Each structure stands twice: as structure tokens, then as C-alpha cells.
Structure 1
Amino acid sequence: MTVPTETQDQLRIMMMAIWERNLPLMRERLDLLDRATLAVEEGSLAPELRSEAASTAHKLAGSLGMYGYAEGTDLARHLEHALAGPDDINAVEMHDLTKALRETLGL
């Protein structure tokens, strides 16, 4: 079954409107990941911030694909795994992933 082009266009417009409404939340989530990245770089990532950042990355990984950001989903998933694991986090990798995620989303 093929969805009519008009319906596809309407869905795209609706998704863009939802994305626009959620931009403040997306920026907050990226800001939290930036704070966690800075803490990793400084060697001062508290367990609470690490857990919150892992949860935030998980939420981003789960939602970005819906808005057409498949690459953003992959980047957020990598961040989630790095933050959720028991090992020390590579500061350069965390910085690069967070920066790439922000660039991918244009935020």
C-alpha cells in the first residue's frame, strides 16, 4: 500500500512542527551532555551526572530517528554505551561524539 504524496507531506509538516516544539528540550539534553563531557575532560564526572547523561543519551537515541536523524540516533547510542558501561570514559571520544551529535542536529 502506497501512502499518497499529499499525506506524506502532511506527516512531514507535522513532524517538523513537533521537532520545533521540542527544540528547547533537545537543547537542554545536549547541554547536559556537554556538562558531562566537560566533567570527563576535567576528571570530575560524578556518578549522578554520569547516570543522568546516560539516561539523556538513551532518550535521544530513542527519539531522534523519529525526526529523521538516524546519524544522531547512532551517535547518542554510542554516548549511552560509553556512559552506561563500568569502564572509564575516553574524554576525546566523549567530546567528539557530543560535538558530532550537536552538529548533526544543527544545534
Structure 2
Amino acid sequence: MAKRNNEHISISDALKEFVETNKLEYGLDVVNVQDTWRDMMGNGVNNYTTAIQLKNNTLYVQLSSSVLREELSYGKEKIISMLNESLGKEVIKKLVLR
């Protein structure tokens, strides 16, 4: 059972402590990356996105359109920097479009 602190802390600090204690940060990063991809890319890209996975700081995005895959491959570095900026930390180091 968890220890009880008698000091008063804010809800955000308590949640951060809970996430760190239970090692949930990677799982939250996975969900946040998926949500950020959907928000940033818009409906045009999302209609052709079939799967989004984050493994070892590499984002794997499966697309059903080869034309879109080729078009996005030209701006991989910009996409990575925009996603990391939106997430507030460097989560993605490499982008693989399939």
C-alpha cells in the first residue's frame, strides 16, 4: 500500500508522482503521440493512416496511400520537430512511413 503524506500537494504534482512511481510515462507518451498525429495532420492524412505505433523513440506510421507516403517522406524532419514541439519533449527521434 502506498505511503500517506501529511503535506499538502497539488493535484498535478500528485498525478506526476503517481505516473513516475508506477512507470506509466511511456504508455502516456504512446497515447499522446497518436493523438498529436491525428490533431496535427488533419483529416486528409488521417483518412489514409491505418496504424500509428511508437517503439524505442521511433514512430511507425502505416499509410494506405503510396503517393501520400512519398509526399510525407520529404518532410520527415519537420514532422518530427513539430510533433516533439507539440508534445513538449523529445519523444520521437525517427519517423518510419510504411
**Normalized against structure 2, the TM-score is what?**
0.30
Tell me which protein shows more helix as a share of its residues.
1
Tell me which protein shows more strand as a share of its residues.
2
**Bigger Cα Rg:** 2
**Normalized against structure 1, the TM-score is what?**
0.28
